[in-house]
């Protein structure tokens, strides 16, 4: 494993648990962020999704402002804004405003996918396909709006010019690796749900990386599913909520996060399904000792500079405890 310090962060979807309102969900999101700040997490990112009753993070910039306003030091940002859904000008205005309100705490991560189904994608932006193909150019527009060099342009975002809002490229394929490397930007890979291309993507990113004003050497963030509890058995029980959620994704029957149950033979069999097994490849579930060994092996394999943890559990207190134990693991490994 690298001897350098490995930062650790959180990716949040504002998942709605069965029986809870959106208001309670958002209250729990802020509660988690406040606790994470005390646990030493570097950043708290919110992902953009649409047309899913069980996901509350659709208005990403609004939630970022809510979380940043309720915390003090932790970085808050997008993991990510699905840029083809949006006008670069509007995103620059939104995140320039956030940066003015919460200086040196706002991150701007970009993805290329729509974060929804095709019909909703076209409802959001009828020319989505063209915008997705123009993803590198759209990012360049954002960079220009944040640059002082844009001061002489006819179209400006005055409050964004010269403001420090770091840009990150998110991806789940090798395409994003080429782009992040060519632009000299930090790279966040979605290995928590799309692990197949992780190794190839990281090799491409490191091999092709071009130093920039933003970044002198490659910086990799890797997503991992984390469920830590007092014992392996309790973590396994808590993980049944995650298993049912993944089954809902594959069957098209998405539902609110279900309460955990005892592990059954049927659920164990589901975990052996090749598609589900592949999707959950980088899911580290167990006691502190168990997860610590799994995380260390993952860091040895990837040499990631930062882990971004995703913990899908029914009860916010179980989530907070899991993130607390994961923070302790990372502190011990560092």
Task: Report the distance separating Cα 122 and Cα 115, nearest Å.
Answer: 12
pLDDT tens readout for residues 31-57: 999 999 999 999 999 999 999 999 999
Task: Report the distance separating Cα 202 and Cα 173, nearest Å.
Answer: 10
Strands 43-46 and 75-82: parallel
Beta strands in the chain (DSSP E): 7-12, 43-46, 75-82, 106-111, 167-171, 187-189, 220-228, 283-286, 306-310
Structural domains present in the chain: 7-228+303-308 (3.20.20.30)
Question: Quick check: 2 pLDDT over 70?
Answer: no
Backbone Cα Rg of the chain: 19
pLDDT tens readout for residues 292-305: 999 999 999 999 99
With bands split at pLDDT 50, 70 and 90, how would you rate the model's confidence at 1?
A: very low
With bands split at pLDDT 50, 70 and 90, how would you rate the model's confidence at 23?
A: very high
pLDDT tens readout for residues 164-212: 999 999 999 999 999 999 999 999 999 999 999 999 999 999 999 999 9
- The residue assigned the tokens 């989505």 is 128
pLDDT tens readout for residues 69-122: 999 999 999 999 999 999 999 999 999 999 999 999 999 999 999 888 899 999
Joined tokens for residue 329: 């693991």
Question: Per residue in 312-322, is it b (16+ CB within 10 Å) or e — as a string?
Answer: bbbebebbbbb
Q: What is the pTM of this model?
A: 0.95
Task: Report the distance separating Cα 259 and Cα 240, nearest Å.
Answer: 8
pLDDT of residue 131: 86
One DSSP character per residue, 204-241 reads HHHHH----SS-SS--EEEEEEEEE-SSHHHHHHHHHH
């Amino acid at each position: 494993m690298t001897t350098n310090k490995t930062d650790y962060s959180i990716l949040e979807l504002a998942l709605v648990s069965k029986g809870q309102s959106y208001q309670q969900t958002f209250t729990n999101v802020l509660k988690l962020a406040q606790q994470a700040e005390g646990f030493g997490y570097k950043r708290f990112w919110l992902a953009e999704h649409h047309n899913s009753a069980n996901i509350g993070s659709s208005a990403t910039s609004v939630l970022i402002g809510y979380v940043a306003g309720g915390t003090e030091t932790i970085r808050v940002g997008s993991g990510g804004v699905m840029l083809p859904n949006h006008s670069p000008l509007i995103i620059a205005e939104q995140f320039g405003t956030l940066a003015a309100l919460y200086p040196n705490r706002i991150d701007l991560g970009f993805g290329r996918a729509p974060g929804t189904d095709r019909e909703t994608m076209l409802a959001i932006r009828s020319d989505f396909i063209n915008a997705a193909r123009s993803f590198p150019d759209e990012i360049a527009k954002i960079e220009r709006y944040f640059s002082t060099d844009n001061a002489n342009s006819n179209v400006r975002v005055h409050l964004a010019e010269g403001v420090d809002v770091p840009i990150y490229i998110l991806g789940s394929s090798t395409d994003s690796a080429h782009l992040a490397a060519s632009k000299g930007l930090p790279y966040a890979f979605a290995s928590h749900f799309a692990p197949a291309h992780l190794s190839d993507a990281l090799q491409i990113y490191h091999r092709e990386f071009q130093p920039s004003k933003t970044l002198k050497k490659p910086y990799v963030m890797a997503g991992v599913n984390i469920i830590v509890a007092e014992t392996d058995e309790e973590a396994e029980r808590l993980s049944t909520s995650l298993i049912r959620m993944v089954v809902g994704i594959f069957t098209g029957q998405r539902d609110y996060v279900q309460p955990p149950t005892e592990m059954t033979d049927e659920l164990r069999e589901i975990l052996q399904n090749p598609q589900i097994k592949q999707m959950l490849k980088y899911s580290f579930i167990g006691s502190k000792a168990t997860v610590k060994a799994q995380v260390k092996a993952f860091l040895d394999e990837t040499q990631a500079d930062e882990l971004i943890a995703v913990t899908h559990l029914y009860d916010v207190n179980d989530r907070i405890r899991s993130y607390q134990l994961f923070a302790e693991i990372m502190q011990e490994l560092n």
